[in-house]
Amino acid sequence: MKKLIIAKDVEAAEKQGKKVVYIDCETLVTPAAKDAARACGIEFSTEAPVCETKACEPAKTCEPAKTTQEGIDSDMIYQVFKAMMDKGLLNGLLDSFSNKPYASETDGCGLKVVRGNTVRMDVFDTGNPDHKVFYQEIINANDGCSMNAGLITIEGCAFDWETTCEELYHVVEGTLNVTVNGKVYTAHPGDSVFFPKGAKLSFGSPDKMKAFYATH
């Protein structure tokens, strides 16, 4: 119940020598009480009084409005999730929270779409722990494919390599250097390089190279 202050309460405060009457946000002050307070030089304050000789009860404060979820439209949430599912966005989102190395979508016909910005690269062992070479295979026999494909990055290093199958690289960014028989061949973004089976070469990059590869 709200507290009500009337003119008589102001007169009583004046007799007690009070210059400030403390109220809270639940207190109602009548117009007559306000007029009486102005006439007596009394102010109304919502600030808690300072205790001097004995402890006083804590002043009441207004409780903040409680936030609830009652105003959320469940039908709207359903429509948003349905639209995401129809566009395949929800599948990719859920995959990003899984242990899979990348998010992808597949179709019963064998089609597979890999979301490139979700691919998590693994360390490629060149035999030198200081080398910064990483890769991730995204297509293989598990997809019913007779070839393998993936992404590889090489940063500021080079290593010897002997191909055990046919390999094709398409440079996406950076510079790829391939040394064969003492001659250096350089590939830039947009260039493709093919290695036949059994080729012995040096493979590397002076900067940071990223390429898509396919092997067969």
CATH code: domain of residue 204: 2.60.120.10
Strand partners, 106: 112
Q: Which residue has the higher pLDDT, 54 or 177?
A: 177
Q: How far apart are CA 4 and CA 12, in angstroms?
A: 14
Give the contacts of 117 (CB within 8 A, at least 6 positions apart): none
- Over residues 85-143, the pLDDT tens digits come to 677 666 555 555 567 899 999 999 999 999 999 999 999 999 999 999 999 999 999 99
* Averaged pLDDT for residues 141-151: 94
Last residue of a domain, one of 113, 143, 178: 113
100, 27: one domain: no
Query: Does residue 190 fall inside a structural domain?
Result: yes
pLDDT of residue 195: 95
| Token pair for 40 | 């007596």
**Residue pLDDT, tens place only, 18-72:** 888 878 777 777 877 788 888 888 888 877 655 544 444 555 554 544 444 455 5
Q: Which domain holds residue 93?
A: 74-113
Residue owning tokens 């009548």: 30
Say whether both 131 and 189 belong to one domain. Answer: yes
Same domain, yes or no: 155 and 207: yes
Q: Write the CA distances from 73 to 24, 62, 70, 76, 78, integer angstroms.
A: 36, 29, 8, 5, 9
Overall domain count for the chain: 3
User: What token pair was written down for 112?
Assistant: 């597979």
- Output the pLDDT for position 94: 57
Query: Cα–Cα distance between 181 and 131 in angstroms, integer?
Result: 23
Q: 125 and 205 share a domain? A: yes
Average pLDDT over residues 152-157: 97
Q: Is residue 4 part of a domain?
A: yes
CA distances from 43 to 16, 30, 37, 131 (A): 14, 14, 7, 77
Would you say the C-alpha torsion 98, 102, 105, 107 has a positive or negative sign? negative
CA distance 49 to 40: 20
CA geometry: angle 101, 105, 110, nearest 5 deg? 110
36 within 8 A of 61, measured Cβ to Cβ: no
Burial classification of residue 107, based on how many CB atoms lie within 10 Å of its CB (0-12 exposed, 13-18 middle, 19 or more buried): exposed
For the segment 66-89, the average pLDDT, to the nearest whole number, is 64
